[in-house]
Amino acid sequence: MFDILKNFESKYGHLKKKGLTIEGLALVDPKKKKHIIKVSKPLVFDNRLLPKKFEGLDIKANIKMNEELPTEFKVDRSKPDWHKKQYIWAPERFEQFVNRCSDDIKKGLGEPSMSKKEMLDALCFGDFKEHKKKVNTLIKEGKLPAYNNN
């Protein structure tokens, strides 16, 4: 198991320069003995550079919450049920962020000629359309709140 982590680090360790932190292995299902590789990264990170799986293990990537999030992603977390009213990673938030900060995003990713679609894919877990489709399905199922700009 640790060989897989070592292989992951040798293949993707260069992304540490871009803000990736490889946190290690985590057991997510003790009954099935299911492990994952946990990583964290800044919001402005090209998620297309990370695989969804590596040598049979899922990759669980979290956004580093110690950094100041842009205004589009700020939600009032002071109320206990905030997550029932606002979804922090709503596709509309990514679109607004890219519309407002495209020059800074391109600079942060080191890709000055990126299109809007490429920026959305890079920021939005690797595939913006797929994320939007998944979120809309979860909204229809009542598992996520619909986006509202308040």
Q: pLDDT by residue (tens digit) across 36-50?
A: 999 999 999 999 999
Domain range annotation of the chain: 2-63, 71-140
What 98-107 contacts at long range (C-beta under 8 Å, 24+ apart), as own/partner pairs, is 98/123, 100/70, 100/72, 101/70, 104/44, 105/44
Q: How far apart are CA 16 and CA 38, in angstroms?
A: 14
pLDDT exceeds cutoff 80 at 112: yes
Global pTM value: 0.88
pLDDT confidence tier of residue 150, bands split at 50, 70 and 90:
low
pLDDT of the residue at 106: 97
pLDDT confidence tier of residue 82, bands split at 50, 70 and 90:
confident
Say what percent of the chain tops pLDDT 70: 99
pLDDT of the residue at 85: 82
Q: How far apart are CA 111 and CA 121, in angstroms?
A: 13
pLDDT confidence tier of residue 86, bands split at 50, 70 and 90:
confident
Q: How far apart are CA 5 and CA 144, in angstroms?
A: 33
pLDDT exceeds cutoff 90 at 78: no
